[in-house]
Amino acid sequence: MKILARALITIAVLVLLFFIFLYSGFYNIGATSPHNKLTLWVISKLKDNSIEHHSNSIIVPNLNDTAMAAAGFLRYREMCVGCHGAPGVKQNEIAAGLYPKPPRLYKSIVDLTPQELFWITKNGIKMTGMPAFGPTHTDKMIWNIVAFMKKLPKMSASEYHSIEVKNKLRYVE
Ligand code: HEC
């Protein structure tokens, strides 16, 4: 009985401390205040496992179609390059102030599967600046972006630049 009473008191005290913390405003919500190591570990496990779980049954279309990557480039240039950069292209000021900072995709996505790239682009990532493009884009458009992203890790700055020059006046309708 005594043990049960002690356990209940401990829980009540912890709940009380949690609410005091919640209402005190003590926590720094600013994007300039990084998470501690434990929070970072929890978030990264939650993110990696969630993305893997939700994306593993997605069926991948043939991504080796050059027209798909070409269409994907136009959307990447319009919507992604500011935050994620590209070979030879710097990230913008919004990216510099975000926490977590958007990774330079051409370096970071090497180990991500096409399913994962598709799922992330379609659904976004909660509590980061990564938007969901599913509400505004069809699956076909998102696969085009994935087809282009898959080419990024092997692309040189001059290759990216030449695609940009070739498409200078082309806009996404
Ligand atoms: C406003 C900034 C912003 C824009 C615009 C944006 N992203 Fe992101 N993106 C982020 C952030 C921040 C993360 C990192 C999230 C994290 O650390 O969990 C991210 C993560 C990702 C990842 C996971 C990368 C990895 O290495 O794990 C992919 C893939 C991605 N974005 C694709 C895209 C695509 C494709 C577009 C354009 C259609 C896009 N993003 C536009 C901010 C942005």
Closest among 143, 133, 135 to 67, alpha carbons compared: 143
- The pLDDT of residue 148: 97
pLDDT tens for residues 128-160?
Answer: 999 999 999 999 999 999 999 999 999 999 999
Longest dimension (CA), the chain: 78
End-to-end CA distance of the chain: 71
- The pLDDT of residue 86: 97
Residue owning the nearest CA to atom 43 of ligand 1: 130
Mutation probe of ligand 1 site: the residue of 46, 48, 83 with most atoms within 8 A of C-beta: 83
Structure tokens at 112: 């991500």
- 114 CB under 6 A from ligand 1? no
How many angstroms is it from 130 CA to the middle of ligand 1? 5
How many angstroms is it from 103 CA to the middle of ligand 1? 7
- The pLDDT of residue 90: 96
- The pLDDT of residue 173: 62
Contacts of 69 (CB under 8 A, 6+ apart): 63, 144, 147, 148, 150, 151
* Residue tagged 């001059």 (tokens): 158
